[in-house]
Chains A and B, each alone.
Chain A
Amino acid sequence: MKRARRLLVSVLLATSALGALAQGASAFQGVVWSNSDSFSYRCLGITDTFPQQLYSMARSRMAALGYGPIGGAIGPSFSSSAFLDTVLPSWAVYVHSHGDNYWATSGWPRIDSAFLQDPGPTRCSHYKTDAVRSSAIKTATLGTRYNLVIMSTCRLGSTLSTMPGAFQIEKVKNNTQREFFLGYVNATYDGDMLRFERAFWSYLSRASGPRRTLYRAFTYAASIGGYDAPDAADPFQANWWGNPTYDGRPG
């Protein structure tokens, strides 16, 4: 009897949970994650303020595009498990961290791109323990499509990057699905990311004027110039893949 009652309660709770999740999915959740402890006074001797600036702007502008609720975190709560556990029900994903195109565990020549989770309050980053690899994300996303993915990191917009595929975004510029991936090609100054993303979000934020699309926002942000480069081998270049006519709104 006790067992039957427990089963009945479980079924009722499951039904309720499914209803809540369906609502959550239809509410178009977005997530914004930013690694700040890697760039803190404790780890570097300086406090890099860019992660907070980029995080705050992305949360605000993603919400303005229509995504919500906006989850994610800046700092220690940006763990690999938190990211992987919450990526499936999300429609838009933003990450600011260190990123690179690492060798896959099977070794050269396969690449398994990754960004670094926040290392937390007691240690500093190491890619062996902190890398969130595209292969793990691919497993967690279960073939689901995503509207907007922004990797505000170095190198994940390079043609070598396997990160778009983790979100089922093909590396083409003529897709007709409602999807868009944005990343940076080379080692990139945070100041340049801030300049680029300000222009990108600014173009999208207009309440009036002609219809805005993510491609036009990207094209505008890339056109404004004024970007520095860490060295001659790493000129500032952003890149995108996806649908050139998509306006970025969820759904």
Chain B
Amino acid sequence: MRFSSAIRTTLVGAAVVAALAASTSQLTAATLVGAGPGPANLAAPIVNQPATIESPLREADHPALFARAAATRNAFGFPVGSSRVGLHVQDDIQGAAYDEVTEVNSSGQPMAMTQFNSDGSLLDAVRFDSPALTLLVLSSDSATRTALRALTASGMAPSGQVRTEADQSAGGWDLHWDRAQAGFTVRGDETRVHVWRDGRIQSVARVEHKLAAAPIHPIGRAGALLAIVRQLTAWFGAASSGYAIQTMDLEWVGSNAAFDATRIVAAAQPYKLAWVANVRPSGAASESLQLITLYVDAGNGTVIGGDVAE
């Protein structure tokens, strides 16, 4: 990289010399730093952001955690390291706390990792090596059978229909069993397994949020539609954009700060039953925005969050 560094310095330096040679009377600070009309803003302070705090966990002090990690590793066929490193992580970046056990090889390199909630339930298990080079074409059915066997062996047998997606980055299949409660999807909650093309499991995750009580008299589809149209009219009335509601479904969702900056630092709340509307913008908004998703509280009709695809 030293070579590259030298090239970078030389190139930038050469640009400056060229600028100077071209016009010695137009030597300005802007030329020196190569700044265009928009400042590089190098002096802007780095605002303190959340971080992680780790505490070491020794196997002798936490035998149950390490036994759980070993059982999980074995159920998913992950590699066995020459040693294990345990950590309790207060992860303020992700807004979570968990215990983590990493399988480490003799060179100190992580081979696989498992993370558990404070109640001992699995959050995530992942191996860090690469898939074997293979000409095998693994079908999604075979991948599903492999995943189901491993999940059953680890006591995590999922229910419901599997959803499969071919993975462009790592190859193989992403398998999702979406969680439902009282007949409604819990948005984002799932058991997810990634199976490599060589038939080995790369990762398993379980995402499960607490749910609030469902409203006794949830707003019906017609009432929700009125609330959503009222909201969209208020939003887009002032802009040269239109909208078309594509879908509207009841789901359990987490309120979020998507459209309300005051909620950015708010503590996570149990998921609520909400009408989830996918809205396709048209006009000026469609140049930069492909989809707006709104969460409308099924109890009181207020917008409690959503998402955007830019």
Interface on A for B, CB 8 Å cutoff?
6-7, 10, 13-14, 17-18, 20-22, 24-26, 29, 31, 35, 38-39, 42-50, 52-53, 56-57, 59-61, 63-64, 69-73, 76-79, 81-86, 88-89, 97-98, 116, 124-127, 142-145, 147, 153-154, 157-159, 173, 177-178, 185, 187-192, 198-199, 201-202, 205-211, 215-216, 219-220, 222-228, 230-231, 234-235, 237-240, 244, 251
A7 contacts B130, CB within 8 Å? Answer: no
Cβ-neighbour of A178 out of B1, B48, B85, B309 (below 8 A) = B1
A53 contacts B264, CB within 8 Å? Answer: yes
Cβ contacts under 8 Å, A24 to chain B = 12
Cβ contacts under 8 Å, B206 to chain A = 225
Cβ-neighbour of A86 out of B13, B36, B85, B95 (below 8 A) = B36
**A116 and B124 alpha carbons, distance in the complex (Å):** 35
Cβ-neighbour of A225 out of B87, B170, B207, B285 (below 8 A) = B207
A230 contacts B235, CB within 8 Å? Answer: no
A189 contacts B293, CB within 8 Å? Answer: yes
A230 contacts B188, CB within 8 Å? Answer: no
**A70 and B44 alpha carbons, distance in the complex (Å):** 8
A224 contacts B42, CB within 8 Å? Answer: no
Can you list, as one digit per residue, whether each of B34-48 has a CB less than 8 Å from chain A (1) or not (0)?
A: 111111111110111
Cβ contacts under 8 Å, B170 to chain A = 219, 222
A21 contacts B38, CB within 8 Å? Answer: no
A-B contact count (CB 8 A): 309
B188 contacts A226, CB within 8 Å? Answer: yes
Can you list, as one digit per residue, whether each of B11-43 has a CB less than 8 Å from chain A (1) or not (0)?
A: 111011100100011010000101111111111
Closest A residue, CB atoms, query B20: A14
Cβ-neighbour of B308 out of A18, A48, A64, A227 (below 8 A) = A48
Give 16 new A-B contacts, CB below 8 A, not counting A38-B289, A48-B258, A225-B205: A21-B9, A47-B259, A50-B258, A50-B308, A71-B41, A78-B38, A125-B288, A144-B7, A144-B8, A187-B290, A190-B258, A202-B94, A220-B124, A225-B207, A226-B190, A234-B309
A-B contact pairs, 28 of them (CB 8 A): A13-B32, A17-B32, A26-B9, A43-B285, A44-B239, A45-B235, A59-B46, A73-B40, A79-B37, A79-B38, A81-B37, A81-B38, A82-B38, A89-B34, A98-B310, A124-B285, A190-B310, A191-B307, A202-B52, A208-B54, A219-B170, A223-B125, A224-B124, A225-B191, A227-B188, A234-B309, A235-B174, A244-B130
Dominant SS among interface residues on chain B: mixed
Q: Say whether B257 faces chain A, with CB atoms less than 8 Å apart.
A: yes
Interface hits, B103-154 → A, CB 8 Å: 104, 108-110, 113, 123-126, 128, 130
B39 contacts A230, CB within 8 Å? Answer: no
Cβ contacts under 8 Å, A198 to chain B = 93-95
